[in-house]
A and B are shown apart, each in its own frame.
Chain A
């Protein structure tokens, strides 16, 4: 018997037939029917109308049938909670069934019904099941607590479920321990960074977890290891204890266990290093044990290898000693997927040392002769990077590059020239002898980067190349057609040539280039640079020499190095997570939204959204949306009335039609994004008249060629003003990258006492985009746009295809839209367009946008307030501040008013006391104390405020202020 046959029926009366079969008294027939229903469900057919019939089959002692019905229910529980809740009575009954399998099934399924109403029925069975005799039921119940928390966090706390979960950490069954721990971790994450520490890791819990580690399934082991890694211990003895228990995990078959164990051990190394002896021997011993398992990961499937390699890349940056002798295992295999090869190359470069460079070079040379162009290019670059990084090996690297140039393969030659330019910049005046070889290959250059590199070399060494003028002249022939990169380089090289060898031909060339660059080009950069040179040369050639031929700083290979504080965070906190694969902090991609919990009166509305969401472009902004939502809500209300009366299942489809007229009166429970936009659109059919009022905004500026500033005055004046220059535009952080669609860049800033959203919208579609409106979701500060209509200063308010529109949206604070604590800087924004539907993106409100200009206070008041306020919250931020003065400047720029500054003689630290006021979200006055050693890493920050949750806000916001990024 095969399930395949269930897919074959496609007859019209199928549903009716199934209905009959479901009501059949013949059990195998009934079972068959349910199987058919499930098969139909899988291929996407809507079989929800069979719900009452399927539920009727639920009351059976046949386990197989019961499981099938549950399978059906669990599927619809998610998408159609209104239906699922109809079965609630049976669930409650099943949760007391003598068979543990059924008890667990009931609790599991109930938790999946995301309706607030379900909680009334769920709490008691859940409480019972958490204390069940059977571990299978207990472990299922543990997960259910996390489900319930997602629906109603307060209830979970009130009923003491969190305490029960914590107790379960000492359960005799490891599976239960693992699930309880996973549930606690999940709840912690849902509660957000402001939530209190749920795990309350104590020595006692620690011991329990360590004991459970050996017994757990591999998945449970990962949960435990992750919580061990999060355990913040300062005691080297503790760390040693943890590491001793974790080290055997490195032998595990499961790569996830190995990587999580590595993460814990790296954490422990950091702690041990703080100890009195510095723990060098211990660290060495652990490093030795870590290497073979890491290497073994490379024998796994390519997917696992890729993840391992991205992590290893971080590990070798932080602790190079671990894999210093293993460079060979990172050599590429011919059948590795490209993404694995690229990662291996990166690690080979990092591990290259004077000892192994010969081996590495030999490999890289082989790769440079392979077929895959991308890989070959990267291999050639790698040789260059080795040369820049290892001084002793430079000559050997150059020889390999020269050999590769001899192959005359165009892209190899070009790539080689690019890296040789870098080598010249790293080791000036050492290897010019090879220039002649490079000059033999000028014909094969057709890529801008290679061309401009070659031109740079000619200009830089013009005095040693006999025919430099001829070579440049040849390049100049095509000057007008070149890309701006090459044009700029040609301009500079010609000036260098003229200054070094002021011959007649050079003079001719320079005047030709300058006149061409100043009169015949649209490129402002090129024109400006030409004007600077022109003016320099005409006023004072000697000064020109000092400027143009000045000594250049030596470069270092940092093309793929991470910012030290990011690296630190990635290694110590995010190793073995997705963040470590992307090499980006999790804030930049984690967009965990709490799901709206369906309230009984909104059931229908939710259903509607869900259907709509599946059609790209079609959004709730439709005029009918609110009407339909209201109608469905009314229908749902009636179904809830029937909730406990199973004998009379209301036929669902009829209700919405009947209730359609009630629409305007339907209460709008949610003040969310979609509702806001929807109602807005209901005001007028066409893009509304409101746009005229908003387009009066004087600051909105359309980007385009910057106003040409004449350079005759001597220096370029920055394009000032509140409007945004293209350069400023490009600096805005990307909020929504959507190649081929509409991308959004933007930042919240404070301007003249007002919070303003600077937005840049890039339209990469083929058609203009108009009807732009913006709305924000409720947030901690009650921020919302003053006008929802975006004032695009073009006819019709449209963004033409292929262009960028800059818009300035003033934000207002609406106290009624403030979300309850804890504070969160998160801001969810929706942008509506007529053409591409609604775009959603997340932003964070920077500290500097919130702090008020008038937020200072008297020093004496500060002192009094410091004493009066509740105890401070402290944290150590991984930052380096160059000096106290810089810090003060930056703080002041962000409206953090420095009241006092003193040196702490004992520690050599600088202490700065500052204050700020944030009215938004009712935060109030905030007092800060910053302690740091200038130039060294680590700033200790203490925060005092009326509200405790402000501290996290400051900790999150300070780094960008102190780094001057704001």
Chain B
């Protein structure tokens, strides 16, 4: 089983250390840090599982810290990696946040939790809910310092902006705030080929729940009626009606063990007793008929005035519904090494109708910069409303005369973005019902949120 577990700070200091079997020397944390920092094969990252001198190291990184487990046995690596992830979740649930600071401020609590979670290297009960009865220490809730500066939805997966310990629900002093967050989080992977058609596209989504409801009342959630799940509902393949695009089709999905799916196949409702803390009620993926939120067109032309210059024109269409908008959009255009300098002109050709605002306002929302070392042109937007269209004209100064090969040497163009309150798969929560019969006045806060972000959104050229 697991021989040791430790949490390392970004500088390699041990913040938390537990030794279970005693068959790996204490110095292993240094061996690990050296090897992960300077991985021998090229400059790539160390793989998540590697072996040095008969000791297998398994590690993940989250919140700036590294969680490491060592073993000498031939156990299941995904078992250990999943377990490390779970420890992250538990720390987040109890300390409100996972960071070096949060752990240092809650050392005793973290040790107490670890003692319950692992015994002699065997994972025990890891449910946030169950652990509550064994924990006697008080948390020191830490919100990240940078939080105020960032928008509500950063690129992280999972509900953000809630930094609260699950132990709050046991408070009786009236300051308790009962609430439940249900987030539909989707990440898009999409590749467009050079002619602008989709080469591959996939949405990975999850229904994440973070519950702070005292007494754990049962809840009921309803999803779209027109939801079809590939192998479950259409074992013989999908027929024409589903490919028309009026239904939401999922390729595969899985559910958390608390989900009661008795009526799911009938009316798409899931009933559950949500345990405290954060968990994914449902994970799904789909490749079917969703509309990509962005389209891009790249053209490369010679400059008639100088053979050492070229003009690259990027045209970007934001195709989300007009009432939504993308935030933090970044377009990355790699350029070849022989590009010396770049200068760009920005304009939004057709600002979207209605509230799109005057053209000048649109320009203020955008910016560009060119990284000469990395040969990377970046086009950034603060906000990008649905239905809008933007153009960037970049004048490239070249070290050698313009050639037709420049066309294929620019790109592939990558996009990064977050679209709040939008689900690319069109999956939706029709209602969220908290079933608590006894008390009519019990009306906890309910938050249902959607967020779609890019995972890998690439235009090939």
Give residues in A with beta carbon < 8 Å to B: 1-4, 6-7, 35, 38-39, 42, 44, 63-64, 67-68, 70-71, 74, 78-79, 101, 108, 111-112, 114, 139-140, 143-144, 146-147, 175, 179, 182-183, 186, 189, 217-219, 222, 226, 251-256, 259-260, 288-289, 292-293, 295-296, 299, 301-304, 306-308, 328-329, 331, 333-339, 362, 366, 369-371, 374, 407, 574, 576-579, 581-582, 586, 589-593, 595, 610, 613-614, 616, 738-739, 842
Contact = CB atoms under 8 A, between A and B. Distances in A.
Contact of B283 (A39, A296, A579): A296
B458 interface: yes
Contact of B44 (A112, A339, A586, A593): A339
Nearest to A6: B107
A35 B47 CA distance: 37
B42 interface: yes
Contacts of B27: 613-614, 616
Contact of B48 (A108, A307, A333, A739): A307
Contacts of B54: 589-591, 842
Interface string B251-268: 110111100000000000
A358 to B, nearest CB: 12
Contact of A296 (B42, B112, B254, B405): B254
The 4 closest A-B pairs by CB, nearest first: A591-B54, A333-B456, A303-B48, A256-B79
Contacts of B345: none
A730 to B, nearest CB: 21
A592 B72 contact: yes
A457 B104 CA distance: 63
A581 B77 contact: yes
A680 to B, nearest CB: 23
28 contacts: A3-B106, A63-B136, A67-B136, A70-B115, A101-B134, A175-B125, A226-B76, A255-B81, A255-B82, A256-B78, A296-B254, A299-B204, A301-B85, A302-B48, A304-B78, A329-B202, A338-B42, A338-B44, A574-B74, A577-B75, A577-B76, A578-B49, A578-B77, A586-B74, A589-B56, A590-B54, A592-B73, A613-B27
A143 B23 CA distance: 17
A71 B48 contact: no
A343 B137 CA distance: 44
Given A3-B104, A175-B124, A331-B200, A219 B83 contact: yes
A842 B53 CA distance: 10
A229 B280 CA distance: 28
A339 B47 contact: yes
Interface stretch (B10-18, B362-370, B428-436): B10-18
A383 B352 CA distance: 46
Given A3-B109, A333-B455, A338-B44, A296 B252 contact: yes
A333 B25 CA distance: 38
B344 interface: no
Interface in B182-233: 189, 191, 193, 199-200, 202, 204, 230-231
B120 A303 contact: no
Contact of B108 (A71, A144, A259): A71
Contacts of A64: 136-137
Chain A contact surface mostly? helix
Contacts of A336: 456
Contacts of A362: 193, 199
B76 A7 contact: no
Contacts of A739: 40
B247 interface: no
B328 interface: no
B126 interface: yes
B74 A259 contact: no
A720 B457 CA distance: 63
Contacts of B252: 292-293, 295-296
Given A114-B22, A259-B76, A302-B48, A179 B104 contact: no
Contacts of A296: 252, 254, 283, 285
Interface in B3-29: 14-17, 19, 21-23, 25-27
B236 to A, nearest CB: 11
B123 interface: yes
Contacts of A307: 48-49, 77-78, 81
A45 to B, nearest CB: 13
Nearest to B121: A186
A582 B122 contact: no
Contacts of A70: 115
Contacts of B40: 739
